[in-house]
Amino acid sequence: MKKYNQVIFSLGGNQEPDVKKSIELQVKVASILRQSHIFPVSVSKFYLTPAFPAGIGADFVNSAIIAKTTLSAQQVLQTCHQIEAEFGRERVIRWGERVIDIDLISFADLVLPDVKTYEKWRNLAPEAQRVDAPEQLILPHPRVQDRAFVLVPLCDIAPEWVHPVLKQSARALCAALPASEVDTVRAIDGTRVVNYPEPV
Domain boundary assignment for the chain? 5-192
The pLDDT value recorded for residue 94 is 45
pLDDT of residue 20: 92
How far apart CA 199 and CA 70 sit, in angstroms, is 10
Confidence of residue 95 (pLDDT cuts 50, 70, 90): very low
Distance CA 10, CA 114 (A): 22
> Lowest-pLDDT range, 83-87, 124-128, 170-174, 177-181?
124-128
| pLDDT value of position 97 | 60
Work out the average pLDDT over 148-162.
98
Q: What values do phi and psi take at 35, rounded to 5?
A: -65, -20
Segment 117-146 mean pLDDT: 89
* Residue 2 DSSP code: -
**For the whole prediction, is pTM greater than 0.85?**
yes
Average pLDDT on 151-156 reads 98
C-beta neighbour count of 144 within 10 angstroms: 22
Residue 38 has pLDDT above 70, yes or no: yes
Q: Is the pLDDT of residue 156 over 90?
A: yes
Which letter does DSSP use for residue 169 in this model? B
- Of 88 and 87, the structure prediction assigns the larger pLDDT to 87
Top CATH class, 5-192: alpha beta
Name residues whose C-beta falls within 8 Å of residue 167's C-beta, 6 or more positions apart in sequence. Answer: none
pLDDT at position 51: 80
Burial of 22 (0-12, 13-18, 19+ CB in 10 A): buried
Q: Does 31 have pLDDT greater than 90? A: yes
Whether 91 shows a pLDDT value over 60: the answer reads no
Residues near 199 by beta carbon (within 8 Å), at least 6 away in sequence: 2, 4, 39, 41, 68
Residue 55 confidence (pLDDT) above 90: no
| Spatial contact of 83 and 75, defined as CB atoms under 8 Å apart | no
Closest alpha carbon to 189 in 72, 11, 37, 20: 20
Between the CA of residue 188 and those of 26, 46, 60, 191, what are the distances in Å? 14, 6, 11, 6
Q: For residue 66, which phi and psi values (nearest 5 degrees)?
A: -105, 135
Handedness of CA 44, 76, 171, 121 (dihedral sign): negative
92 has a pLDDT exceeding 60: no
Tell me, what's the pLDDT at 127?
76
Counted residue by residue, the chain has a size of 200
